[in-house]
Structures are given as structure tokens and as C-alpha cells.
Structure 1
């Protein structure tokens, strides 16, 4: 299918051939007929992309600080590599889509195949959108009109926050697309509306809708004029839909407001607020968040958990519906806002000079029924090796892009497929690394007899299911940590591992030259190991904290260090006890200390903290054994104390990824056992589960192999004991 993509690195906009998305649970697959170009937002993205590095940095000072912190902790070259990789990430354009539902995912209740819907899908021939981000189009509303639904909801949410009443005077600053829709909805609500803009065409269009216009370029003082029009009192409310870098708009909004007036920011402007201006009038100020309640809430948007109507009357989806009802009832006429209708293939007519466009609303018109293809051949003539060592990758996120693919390329791996949920990232990586096929259906990889190995780097909740399918398809499997999120998933995998193919989990740190050196120095001597992870804070609403999706950071990330200590000690975990910060620590804590007792008497301590400074190094490993100490500082410097012939190893930061993928490529090509013994993988996974159970129950949890059982019989069990003897 065709999709519009923009480069953050160059600002170029291209119509890309990408595989069509698969319909997923809670979502609908829509074939697009029309989409609206949001000129303000998309102009800003294109101009940002065309800016040079210095200009980009000036626009994002918070990101500059993050980059500087990363330089301090990881070094200059790895940081620059990460920055350039980030800039190479393609950006799907558009968020105002209308079309027909062609497939419905499990759990969808309100929509069905054949429904016409408006959604926040991008400019693409097919889009997959969650049910709560799509609304059915009334019969008397065209797809062209319905494409305005999302921008209409943005304006409507600003109105709801302003909370105008019949007869109040509301000023709309900025009569672009969102501003004109906002003003017309305010008129429909019985308000007197004053619109401010620098464009005479927009002022004239607003006048046709009963809006009093003010153009500062024509010599009018906006503050004085609003004061005059309101009998000296000032406006009841000001809704800012304009985009400006300075603070002048905020200041003028305060000056033209009445005492205890309301100011709502929908657009983008400087936010230096004069205390005197707001203090004297007791003004209120609020920033509007996109389409309304539910926006950026994963439980609402991705999982379909609606907010109860009696308590949250207007969610983003109900705002969509309200805008469509206003169109159907003749209260909102968007047809007059359309400046141009452009076929999708002629998109350059809009984007080639978008920075100077005078268009108000540009509609992209899609061709007739598009062919649905879940696989795109990116390089028709590219070779991908012989049948015995061909790989397929499932997942095209940051780890695949920034770590795995560069390492596999250096190792000479033969990759035939890359699968991604949306198709955009996967196709971009296929182009960069000359991978022949990009797909949105990972089952294509499993069904291909030439593919010997599957590498899985998806979200954590998909790992176990995909591992099982790949094992049953006779593929060697590499999966990023964690292997599973619960014991049931783990036991299914244990039963599926019959030895015919290998299973490797991405516990890369054991392959670092620093850990390899420490292992060489310490051998199998009894030891104490302390591993400290300065993990950094992740907002609580991010999926990694969700126990069903990410498994929490202990199961999802701290397992790295359980495996690392297992490798160093040469033993398996016998018992686990975890303590977490806080009076009532939750199961998905990311500030915890984990105690590990090993079968050979060794002990391990994992300090996993998210409350440290990002300027401090992320990881530190200390090994104490036979009056000797080894300290690994962030996988850059290892210092030895008491070792004959060794005092220091220094390298660029190396957490073992390159060696891991080089060895994996060699094993797949030449045969041999998995890189990590399967029983150690199972033991590490069980230990991560035991850490959570320990926190919940407040005591040690003992891991024990059942006598006489085998791994294929799921012969591992855990039980709690009150104390260790």
C-alpha cells in the first residue's frame, strides 16, 4: 500500500510503498477514501525536519540535556550514533482519516465491517486504529467532511475547557483550520465570537460564519478593539489556536480578558506569563490536551477501557461523535473550508512548498479499491544466503534499529525478512540494511521454509506466544528478554523445547569482554557479586510497567543481572528475596534490592534503582572472591584489585551485543548448542518471578528442581519458605 512518510533527518516527504497493517485486537482495519492535511501541524514537522542539527537542538533544549547526560555516562561516539539513528526514524504523516472498515479485531463491539468511520489514522491507503479512536460517520455526512472530525475534536476540547455559556463573548486567536472550526462551534453554542488573524482571507471566511474579525495588520489594536466590543469589560474567554514562538499572544489574551476570565491554549505559543496581568484579574489558564480525556492513556486508547459516561461525559471518542453530529445537524459546515482536493499520488502539490502555503484545508483523495498486501519486496534482486542460515526478524523498534541490526550486519548475517506492526519502521530498516522483504504479518516468516532462525524483539507480552509458534515451526529462536511473563507461559515453552532447535534469550551482558575477563580471572571460586543498575525513571503510564504487557521492570529488565551473576558464579539460583522502596511497594516496582542465593554457596545482590541521576553511569558490577575484587564500571572500564598480572581493561562501552550476535550467527550457520544453556535460561526466568512473589509475600522464595523430573515435563517449581537455613 501507499503511505506518506516524512524524514526527521532531511524533512523530505515521500509516498512510500509499505506492507499494509494487520488488524489487531481491539482495533479496526480501515481502507482510506479521504484524509485531511493538518497544515499547521504538518508544516511544523516538515520545517523541523529541514532544519540543521543546531537549529533542531535549539528547538528542543530538553533533548539536548538528555544527550549531554548520555555523553557523560556512555561516551561521545555511542551518543552520536544514537542521535543519528533517532533522526533516521521515519515519521508517518497525518491524523485525520476517513474510510470504510474492512476488518474487525477481537474485542471490538461498536463497529463492524462496512461501517464508514472517521479516525486519527495517518495518510495511508489502509490504517489500523483502536476502536476508541474511530467513530461511525452519519449517513448524511460525506467522507470528505468526516475527515475534519479529529481537528474538530481538538477545537471542541478547547471549548469544553473554556466552558462558555449562552451569550458569552469568546475570542479565538488564530483563524487557521482549527481556529475556524472552533469559532463556528462556539457560534453554534450561542456565543458571540471574535476572531483574530493576520490573513484577510480567513477574516473574510470567518465573517461568513457570523464571526467578528480583527486583523492587527490593518492597524487595529486587538486589546482595545475587544474591550470596545465587550462594553469595556473584556472577553469572557480566550481560546488560542495560533502558533507563535513569542509570549505576546499570552500577554494580549490576559489584557483583553475580563476579570476572572478563562484562557485556553490549544495551539503553540510562548508561555512566559506575567504575574501582574494574571494576578490583577484572577485569570485562569489551561492547556488543552489534543482530542480530550483518554488521549495518551494506553488503557483507554489501546486496551479499549472506556471512561464511564456519568463521570467523564466527553472522552475523545465522544468528542469525535459530537463533531460528526454537528456536521450532520448543519451546525458545522466544513465544506467551505476546503481549499484544494489533491490525488494521493500528487501529494507534492501540497508538501513541496508547505511552509508558504495559503491553503486552509487540503484534502487527499485516495484511488479506488487498493490492493491489500502484507508483504513488500524492498530489494527484488537482494540475496539472502542459503537455506541453512537465513534469518527473519520480528520487531522493528529501537533495539532492533540501534543495536541488533548493526551487530548482525557486522557479523555477516543473512536476513530475509523484517516484520513490524505498522510496516513503516520495518520498511525503512529493510532499505537501510538491504533486507529483501518487509512484512506486517510475522507468520510469513514462520511459513517460509528457507528461514532457519527467527529473532523476536517485540513488546514483552508477545514474546512467549511468538517463541512457541517459532519453535513449533522448527525455527531456531532468539528472543530479547524476558522469555515469558508468567509460569504458565514458561512451562508451555519448556514443553515445546524438544532439542531439535535452539532457544536463546538476549542476556547479552555475559558476552561483554569485561564480564568475560572477570570470569577468566575468578574462575569457579566462591564469590559475592553486587550488580547496581541506575536504570533511570520511566513514566508510570509507559507499557513496561504494565504487568500484563511489559511484566514490570524486574521481570522485564532486572533478569539481565540475574543471568549475569549466574554466569559469573557458574551456578544456579537457589533462593530469592526482594525488598522494595516505599511503605507499600507494588509488584511492578523499579526501586528494589534483590538477594540471590546460589546452589554452590555464592551470593548475589542486584540493586535496581530508577531514582538516580541520569548523569551517573548506568551499571556497575562488583565481584569479591578470595581476597580479590573486580569492578566493572558501565562496561567501559574494568579494574582488578589483587589479581596477578591484571589491573585494568578499558574499551568503548560494550555490553556484549556484538559478540552475542556474532556467536549467534555462527551457531545458526554452523550448528551447535544454544549460546546459553536452556536450564540456566529457565532458572533465571523463574528467579525473576520469585523476586515478585517474594515482594508480595514478604519472605524468601526457594527454587527447587523436582526429583526425578525433566525440563520437558516443566520440572521446576517454586515455594515460599519463612527463613533460609
Structure 2
């Protein structure tokens, strides 16, 4: 299939062939008939991408600070890779479309193949021939709706959420500042609900569109002389009941102007991208005005449970969710309560999408919405996209399942470039990621099909998907007789771990988990000095806070931070002392989310060693993240954030300092491949993987039992 993409670094835009997106649980596969370019919103996105690096930095100062933070903590190499990955990635464009359902994923019951739907969401409802959209970001269309009009789905829901925040009644008045696409939609729906509308804009062209199409009762150019008096006359001297700001500007004029025209104790709704630093006097304070933000499509937006897992809010308590806003908008279209046909001022075939953006960037005439029309007669096949025609076979024939930020920054760049490793296929959730990874790292093809990367040619598979799918893909790959490298954790539950063990023992294949810290050169130095044997170990991690709505905090998807990250630290202590964990006990500092991410874990090992993992989310950001101390036989070692090592004991103190932080990713990847080449075995034994994974899961068991010690 074809998709419109843009590179953030160069601004290069093209319609290119990519694999179809995967249809996961709760997802819907849709063949687009139309998608909508919002001239205002998407112009900003494209403009930023076409700027120089300095221009990009000025546009996104917060991201510059993040880059500097990575540079400080991880060094120039990792920083360069992270920035390069971002700049070179194919970024999808678009967020509002409509079309026909090709397939419904597991758990979707209200939408079926052949239904016509409208879709929403950045990263989902893209400008592409086929899109995969979560159920709660997709609505079935009523009879009689034009698919072109229905494609305004996202914009309609955004505008409607702004109206709901205004909470207006029949006969009241509302000023809409900014009559771009959102402003026009809001004005149309306000008038349809019996609210009197004053439309305000700086451009006469958009005002004329509103006048000619019945979107406002009164239209005024912002620089009209006596504009405040005209609005007071229109409202009988009261002022408008509410103001919806749908403009996009860095000026504070809209927010202050809203204060001047709003009635006392009225409300101002921010729908567009404008500063909110209003002047306290003379209007905002004296009138006791209320300022509200309209969050995108409505309740449910940015909620992982709602958007990704499909858990709805009860209508009795949350009447208007983002999906119900979309449905309401489509009903307005189907009943002809609003007519938005005039909003599509230009239409392009999808193959000419780049020209549409060029028109937007260089526009000299007033226009608002641009529709992209798709060739719905074109056959669409779920098949691999060939990238490099190597057609060779080697000792190791490698495919990737999942290739997100971590894989692109730490796994793929470290694959040795040798003739005995052949790179076969890439499978990810999105076609753009699959293609970019296949191109950049020289794979033969990218694909939406699991069977393509598990074919007879592939004998080794890297799994770097989200945590909840690790166990599934490990089992599938082992059953297909592949050697497996899986990014941690290997699984989320004891049941999954036991099933993996059963399959592993029945197959003559290797399994390795991405426990990279044991491969750090500083860890290796400690291991050489201390060997095996009883020792005392302390591993303090200043992990920092992760928001509760981040996917890793979700127990079903990420497994939480203990399953998702603490396994690293238990593995390192296991490696250093040379024996398996046999007992674990844990105590957590209470937190109101119940995340248990400030926790002390006491480990007992088979050779008598003890270890403490002190995982703290409540520390200072500027404290280095990881600090390890090892004590044995009159010697002590300190590893500070995998940058610095000190070993104390008999003789002189050993000191080693690295220019760049090295957590062992390069050594880990190289060791995996060297193991396959030499003996067909990987450097971490399954016994260690099993014991470390089980001990990690039992940390949660101990916490549930009030800190009781649990045997591994």
C-alpha cells in the first residue's frame, strides 16, 4: 500500500510503498476513501520539518533540553543516534479520514467488514491507502453521509468539544475568534444549536466564507474600528456569553480581546494554539471570567485504557467521550443540520498529496480544508515490500519483530557487519517504521505478515515489541525452530514463563534476554577481579518518576516497572556473584497510584551471596541513575552509572573512567551472534534467564504478602 510520509530532518515528503499496518486486538483496518488536510494545523507541522536544525531548535526548545540531558547522561554517541533516528524517521501525516472496513480485530463487535467508518487520531488516521485505528477512535457512519464530509471526523470532534466546554444554552451568544477550519466547524454547530455567533478573523477571505455559508450571524475583521462596540450592540449591551478561541498565533491579542468582549462571569475556551497569559486588568479580574481548555476530541483523549484498550466511560457519568463526540458530529452531517461541503476548497488525488502541501505552504488565496481522494479500485495486498535484493543465505539469517526506539538506538546499530550475518525481514506495527528500518539497516524486506519473518530462510529472530507481546512471540519463534533474542522482560507472568520453559526444553534452539549490563566493560572488569563466591552487593537505581498513564506502568501492557526494568538489576547481581537467586523479599514506600516503584528488594543467592536492589522513583533528577557497590574478601568495587569504576583492596586502587556511558549493549549483541556462530549457544544460560525472571515476578508476590520472603 502507499502512504504519505515526511522526514523531520529534511522536510522531504513523498507517497511511498510501505507494508500494511498490523491489525491488533481492538483495532480496525480501514481502506481510505478520503482524508483531510487541515491547512492550519498541518502547515505548522510541515513548516517545522522544512526548517534548518537551528530553526527546529528554536521551534522546540523543550526537545533541545531533552537532547542536552541525554548528552550529559549517556554521552555523544547515544545522543547522536537518538537525534539521527528522529530526524531520519518517516513521519506519517494526517489525522482525519473515512473509508471502508477491511477487517476487524479481536474484541471489536460493533464494526464489521464492509461497514463505512470515519477515523481519528495522529499516528492512526493517516494519509494512507489503508490505516489501522483503535475501536474507540473509529465510528460507524449513518446512512446518507458523504464520505468526503465524514472525513472531517477529527476536526468536527475537536470543534464540538470546544462547544461543550462553553456550555451554552439556546438563544445565548458566542464569539469565535479564528475562522479557519476549526472555527468554521464550531460556528456551524453553534448556529445549528440555536446559539448566535459572532465570527472574528484577521482575513476577509475566511470571513466571506463564513458569511456566504451561514456560519455566523455577524462577521467582523479583527481590526474593524469600534469592534467592541459593534459586539456589545449585537448582544444588547451584555457582551457575548462565551468566546471560543480557534486561532493559532503567538500573540496574546486573542486572549485579551476575548476578555474585552465577553460578558461578566462569562467563559473563554481555548481551542487553538494561543498563549494564555492574559492581562489581569481591566477585564479578566473585574468580570470574573472563567478560562477553560478544550482537550482535543474530548474525554478519553490520551487515556491508554480508553484509546488503546477500548475501555469506554459509562455514558451516565461521562456523557460525551471523544467517540461519542465523533458520532454526534456524523449525525449532524447525516441529518443535514450542518452543511460543510464548502469547507473543501481543494481536492487532490492521493498520488498528488505532496502538491497539496506545496499549495498550502505557498497559499495566496483563502482556503480551509483540502481533501485527498483515494483510488478505491486499486487492489490492496497484504504482502512484503522488497528493499534489498540480496537473496543470500548465511550462518545467521536474522529477522526483527518490532523495531522501536530502543532497537534502533541500541540493537540494530550494533549488529556486526560481517558476511556470516544476513539481514532478512522486518515486522513492526506500522509500515513506515518497518520500511525505514529495513532501508537503514540493510534488510531484504519489510512486511506486515508474521509468517514472512518466520520463514525457512530466517533462523534467528530479534523480538523488540512492547512487553505484553514478548512471551507470545518468543513461543511462536521457538516453535518455528528459531534462535531467539528478546528484549527484556521475557514475559509478564509465571504462567507464561513456565510455558516458555516447556517449549524451550523441547527445542534445540537458543534463547537470550537483553540483559545488557552484564556485558558492560566495567562489569566485566569487576567480574575478572572478584570471580564467583559469597559477596554482598548493593544496586541503587535513581529511576525517577514515570507518569501513571505511561504504557510501562500498565500491568497488562508494560507489566509495571518492576517486571519491566528491575529484572535488569537482579540479572546483574546474579552474574556478578555467579549463582542463582533462591529467595526474594521486598518492601515498597506507599504511593497513591500503587505502582510500587520506590522499593527495596533483598535477594539471597545459592552460594550465600546477598544483594539489595534499591529502586527509587522519588529521588532528585540530577543524581546519576545507577550506582553499584560490591564487597567480598576484603575488596570493594563501585560502578558509578556505567561511566566510572573504582576497585579498592590489596594494593593500589584500580580506577577506570569511560568517555561515554557504556551499559553493554554493543557487547551484548556481539556476544549473542558470536555464540550462535561458534557453538549455536548464547552467552546467558536459560537457567539464569528462568531464575532471574521468576525472582523478578516474585518481587510482586512478596509485596502483595506484606514483604514476606518468597522462595524462587
Please report the TM-score for the alignment, with normalisation by the length of structure 1: 0.94
Selected match of 1:434 from 416, 438, 442: 442
Root mean square deviation, CA, Å: 1.8
Counterpart for residue 599 of structure 1: 606
Selected match of 2:239 from 226, 234, 238: 234
CA distance in 1, matches of 2:240, 2:161: 19
Check if 1:566 corresponds to 2:574.
Answer: yes
CA distance in 2, matches of 1:258, 1:410: 69
Query: Are 1:461 and 1:485, in contact at CA under 8 Å, matched by a contact in 2?
Result: yes
Counterpart for residue 393 of structure 2: 386
Check if 1:494 corresponds to 2:494.
Answer: no
Secondary structure of the equivalent of 1:497? helix
CA distance in 2, matches of 1:99, 1:284: 40
Query: Are 1:378 and 1:427, in contact at CA under 8 Å, matched by a contact in 2?
Result: no
Counterpart for residue 420 of structure 1: 428
Query: What pairs with 1:477-516 in structure 2 (closer than 5 Å)?
Result: 477-498=484-505, 499-516=507-524
Query: Are 1:264 and 1:288, in contact at CA under 8 Å, matched by a contact in 2?
Result: yes
Which stretch shifts more, 602-611 or 643-652? 643-652
Check if 1:681 corresponds to 2:689.
Answer: yes
Selected match of 2:584 from 573, 576, 580: 576
CA distance in 1, matches of 2:422, 2:220: 62
Task: Render the CA deviation track for 1:34-73: whole Å, top value 9, x for unaligned.
Answer: 1111122211111111122222222223223323333332
Secondary structure of the equivalent of 1:51? coil
Query: Are 2:388 and 2:442, in contact at CA under 8 Å, matched by a contact in 1?
Result: no
Check if 1:449 corresponds to 2:456.
Answer: yes
Q: How many residues of Structure 1 are paired with residues of Structure 2 in the alignment? A: 701
Secondary structure of the equivalent of 2:136? helix
Secondary structure of the equivalent of 1:700? coil
Query: Are 1:171 and 1:196, in contact at CA under 8 Å, matched by a contact in 2?
Result: yes
Counterpart for residue 152 of structure 2: 148
Query: What pairs with 1:218-367 in structure 2 (closer than 5 Å)?
Result: 219-276=224-281, 277-357=283-363, 358-367=366-375
Query: What pairs with 1:593-672 in structure 2 (closer than 5 Å)?
Result: 593-644=600-651, 647-651=654-658, 652-672=660-680
Secondary structure of the equivalent of 1:416? strand
CA distance in 1, matches of 2:693, 2:25: 27
Check if 1:114 corresponds to 2:122.
Answer: no
CA distance in 2, matches of 1:375, 1:606: 47
CA distance in 2, matches of 1:125, 1:85: 25
1:84 Cα offset (Å): 2.6
- Cα distance 1:92–1:692, how it changes in 2: closer, same or farther (>3 A)? same
Selected match of 1:471 from 478, 481, 489: 478
CA distance in 2, matches of 1:672, 1:210: 71
1:271 Cα offset (Å): 1.9
Task: Render the CA deviation track for 1:421-473: whole Å, top value 9, x for unaligned.
Answer: 11111111111112121112223211x11101010010111011110110010
1:138 Cα offset (Å): 1.7
1:202 Cα offset (Å): 1.3
Query: Are 1:30 and 1:128, in contact at CA under 8 Å, matched by a contact in 2?
Result: yes
Task: Render the CA deviation track for 1:93-113: whole Å, top value 9, x for unaligned.
Answer: 111111001111111111111
Check if 1:163 corresponds to 2:167.
Answer: yes
Task: Render the CA deviation track for 1:669-696: whole Å, top value 9, x for unaligned.
Answer: 3333221011111000010011101001
CA distance in 2, matches of 1:360, 1:77: 44
Query: Are 2:204 and 2:221, in contact at CA under 8 Å, matched by a contact in 1?
Result: no
CA distance in 2, matches of 1:657, 1:539: 26
Secondary structure of the equivalent of 2:673? helix
Selected match of 2:545 from 519, 531, 537: 537
Secondary structure of the equivalent of 2:459? strand
- Cα distance 1:228–1:77, how it changes in 2: closer, same or farther (>3 A)? farther
1:602 Cα offset (Å): 0.8
Counterpart for residue 18 of structure 2: 18
1:626 Cα offset (Å): 1.9
Counterpart for residue 104 of structure 2: 104
1:354 Cα offset (Å): 2.5
Query: Are 2:676 and 2:682, in contact at CA under 8 Å, matched by a contact in 1?
Result: no
Structure 2 residue ranges without an equivalent (≥5): none
Counterpart for residue 44 of structure 2: 44
Query: Are 1:411 and 1:661, in contact at CA under 8 Å, matched by a contact in 2?
Result: no
Query: Are 1:135 and 1:317, in contact at CA under 8 Å, matched by a contact in 2?
Result: yes
1:9 Cα offset (Å): 1.3
Task: Render the CA deviation track for 1:516-547: whole Å, top value 9, x for unaligned.
Answer: 00011111242111111122221101111111
Counterpart for residue 4 of structure 2: 4
CA distance in 2, matches of 1:634, 1:370: 55
1:409 Cα offset (Å): 4.8
Structure 1 residue ranges without an equivalent (≥5): 704-717, 719-725
Selected match of 2:531 from 501, 504, 523: 523
Selected match of 1:179 from 168, 183, 186: 183
Query: Are 2:177 and 2:247, in contact at CA under 8 Å, matched by a contact in 1?
Result: yes
Please report the TM-score for the alignment, with normalisation by the length of structure 2: 0.95
Task: Render the CA deviation track for 1:653-709: whole Å, top value 9, x for unaligned.
Answer: 111110111111222233332210111110000100111010010133333xxxxxx
Task: Render the CA deviation track for 1:271-329: whole Å, top value 9, x for unaligned.
Answer: 21223332211111111111111111111111111111111111111111111111111
1:614 Cα offset (Å): 3.0
CA distance in 2, matches of 1:99, 1:477: 39
1:226 Cα offset (Å): 2.1
CA distance in 2, matches of 1:643, 1:454: 45
Secondary structure of the equivalent of 2:413? helix
CA distance in 2, matches of 1:592, 1:434: 43
- Cα distance 1:331–1:569, how it changes in 2: closer, same or farther (>3 A)? same
Query: Are 1:456 and 1:480, in contact at CA under 8 Å, matched by a contact in 2?
Result: yes
